[in-house]
Structure 1
Amino acid sequence: MADFRLGQEARTAGYRLAGFDTIGSTNSEALAAAAAGDPGGIWFASLQQTAGRGRRGREWHSPSGNLAASLLIVPDATPDIIATLGFVAGVALNSGLSAILPGGMVRIGIDGADGADGRSRIALKWPNDVLADGAKLAGILLEASKTPDGRTAIIVGIGVNVVAAPEGVPYPATSLRALGVERSAADVFEALSDAWVDTFRLWDDGRGVSAVLERWRGSAAGIGAPVAISQDGVVRRGIFETIDSSGRLIIRDDDGARIPITAGDVHFGATASAQS
C-alpha cells in the first residue's frame, strides 16, 4: 500500500486518509463514500489513476508516481459560496508546494506566466490550475453530490504531476521531476493536507472568502498581462485585471470595458495572441 501520510495539523484536526497504489478515480471513490453517508473530512490519495477526469469531462492522465488526491467535505454554506472552494484548494496547494520546494520556486506577485526570467516559478492559473513557468503542473476539480440526509457533499480533487507530465495534451505540461525537484507524491500530499487545514479554516464556511481570494490574487499568474478566454468557440481578449469578490475573472478589453468571466479556457502571453 502506498506510503501516504497526513500532516500533523491534518491529524490534529481529525482528518482521515485512505491511500492506494492505484485506483480508477479518487474523485469517484470519494463520491461513493458520500453516497454511503460518510460524514466528510476524509482524503483519498493514490499514486496512479486509471480513469481520472478533469474539467468538462476531459481525461486526467496520472501515471504511477504522480499524486491524485480527493477530499470529501460537507460544508455548511450556500452553493455560490461553495463554488469558491476551488480557490481554497489552489491556495492550499500553492502553500503546500511552498513548504517542500526549494526557496524561490514559489513566488508571490507574479506579473506574467511565461517564466521570462529563466527561473522556475509556480503560480495559480484561473480558475483551477497550478503552473510552473507557464506549463501545467497541477489541476483541481470540484464535484458535488448529495448525502443520504440531503446535504451537499463536495469532492475537492487535486492532481499533481510529481514524476511525469502527460504527453499529447493540447497545452504545455511539466512535472516536479522535470523542474529538478525529487520529492515523492507522499511528500506532496503530506504538505498539502496540512496547508488545506489552514486555508479551509481561513475560508470558515464562506465567512473568509475575501481573505482566501486575496491570497489567491497574490499568487496568481498573468495579472496585468494579455489574456484570451475561449468560451464555446468564441475568444475574448483583453488584459487580466483581477478576480472579483465572487471569483470571476475580470478582463479589460481594448475599449476599456471591464468584462466578468465565469467560465472558459484561459491563455496567457504568447499563447493568448495565438488563439483565434
Structure 2
Amino acid sequence: MGFSLAPTAATLGYRLEAFDTVSSTNAVAIERARGGDDGKLWLVSKRQEAGRGRRGRAWETPEGNLAATLLLVPGFDIKAAATLGFVAGLALADALAAVIPGRGVSVGVDGGTPIGGGRFELKWPNDLLADGAKLSGILLESAMLDESRFALAIGIGVNVVAHPQDVPYPATSLAALGATCDAETLFIALSDAWVDNARIWDEGRGLAAIRERWLKRAAGLGSPVAVRMEGRVVRGIFETIDEQCRFVIRDEEGNVTTIAAGDVHFGAVASA
C-alpha cells in the first residue's frame, strides 16, 4: 500500500509528495518552499537517510518507519508558529489512538514507573513516549523566504518497525509494543488528526484549548524533573506549561522557573 492523505485533509487542500527514500523530509520541505511552493504539503517516506532531531542530533528512519513533514508557508506570526509542535504532538497521539484502539500501553517516563493509566504521553517539548521510551520526535524548522514570509517545516518521525539501540535514552517502536500498524496507515490517521487539531489551534487563537488538551497527556506532570539548559541543570517539580507553552518548574523552596528551551529528564534521571 502506498501513502495517501485522509479525505478530510485532501478536501481542505493539503497535498502529498511521497518518496521511497529521502535525505530529510524537513530539508526537502524547505527546498520546496524556496522553490515557490505555497505550503500545505505533506512530504513522507518510510526511509530517511539524513534525518535530524533537536539540537542537530541524528534521527534514524530505517525502512518501514515513518518520516513525515508538513510544509506550511503561513500568514500568521512566527511566534505563534512555534507552538505548532504541540499541535503536532496532539495530532500524533490522536492518530495512534485511532490506529491502535484500546491498546494497553503502559507509559512511564525515562524508564520509570508507568503512569497515566496506559496512554501514549507527550514529553515537553516535542517527544511522544510509550512504555517509558521514546517512540516519536517532532522537529520544527523555519526559513525566511523574503522580508515578510517564512516557511515552516513540521517534521514528525515515528519508530514504526524499528528503534535505535545505541542512544543514551530508552527508545521503542510500535512493533516492539506488539502493534501491527504500518507507516502508511499511521500517516492517513495523522493527516486526519492534524486537520482536527489545527482547527482547534486556529492560527494561535485557540492555543489555550491546545494547552489544556496537551496537559491531559503530559508525561511526568507533578513529578520530579531535571531540565538541562544553557550549561546548567534546573531541578524541581513539573508544575505545568504556561500560556505560551513554556515549561514551569517549582523547586523545594517554592521558587518557580519558566523554561523556553531545554532537555527534560524525569524519574530517577532527574535525581542523578
- Whether TM-score is above 0.5 comes out as yes
Find the partner of 1:141 among 139, 144, 147: 139
User: What letter matches 2:30 in structure 1?
Assistant: L
Alignment partners' CA distance in 2, 1:257 and 1:80: 27
Look up the match of 1:129: 127
TM-score, structure 2 as length reference: 0.94
User: What letter matches 2:134 in structure 1?
Assistant: K
Alignment partners' CA distance in 2, 1:147 and 1:70: 18
Q: CA deviation at 1:74?
A: 1.8
1:145-196 deviations in Å (ceiling 9; x for gaps): 1235841111000000000011211111000000000110001111000000
User: What letter matches 1:205 in structure 2?
Assistant: E
Aligned: 1:53 with 2:52: yes
User: What letter matches 2:87 in structure 1?
Assistant: V
Alignment partners' CA distance in 2, 1:148 and 1:175: 40
Deviation larger for 209-218 or 116-125: 116-125
1:40-90 deviations in Å (ceiling 9; x for gaps): 001000001100001111111111100000000122222221110111111
Look up the match of 2:89: 90
Which aligned pairs between 1:100-111 and structure 2 lie closer than 5 A?
A: 100-105=99-104
User: What letter matches 2:235 in structure 1?
Assistant: R
Which aligned pairs between 1:23-102 and structure 2 lie closer than 5 A?
A: 23-102=22-101
Find the partner of 1:228 among 223, 226, 229: 226
Alignment partners' CA distance in 1, 2:37 and 2:261: 31
Report the CA distance shift for 1:28/1:112 in structure 2 as closer, same or farther (over 3 A): closer
Deviation larger for 24-33 or 230-239: 230-239
Alignment partners' CA distance in 2, 1:27 and 1:48: 13
Q: Confirm or deny: 8 A CA contact 1:106 1:123 kept in the other structure.
A: no
Look up the match of 2:19: 20
Look up the match of 1:169: 167
1:217-237 deviations in Å (ceiling 9; x for gaps): 111100000000011431111
3-state DSSP of counterpart to 2:23: coil
Find the partner of 2:152 among 154, 157, 173: 154
Q: Confirm or deny: 8 A CA contact 1:14 1:41 kept in the other structure.
A: yes
User: What letter matches 2:6 in structure 1?
Assistant: G
Alignment partners' CA distance in 2, 1:212 and 1:116: 24
Q: Confirm or deny: 8 A CA contact 1:248 1:261 kept in the other structure.
A: yes
User: What letter matches 1:29 in structure 2?
Assistant: V
Q: CA deviation at 1:111?
A: 9.0
Q: Confirm or deny: 8 A CA contact 1:111 1:224 kept in the other structure.
A: no
User: What letter matches 2:215 in structure 1?
Assistant: R
Find the partner of 1:186 among 184, 187, 210: 184
Report how many aligned residue pairs link the two structures. Answer: 271
Alignment partners' CA distance in 1, 2:204 and 2:79: 9
Structure 1: gaps of 5 or more residues: none
Q: CA deviation at 1:102?
A: 3.1
User: What letter matches 2:25 in structure 1?
Assistant: T
User: What letter matches 2:192 in structure 1?
Assistant: D
Find the partner of 1:216 among 196, 214, 223: 214
Q: CA deviation at 1:132?
A: 0.4
1:92-114 deviations in Å (ceiling 9; x for gaps): 1111111111315479xx89673
Deviation larger for 122-131 or 196-205: 196-205
Question: How many percent identity over aligned positions?
Answer: 56
Alignment partners' CA distance in 2, 1:180 and 1:63: 18
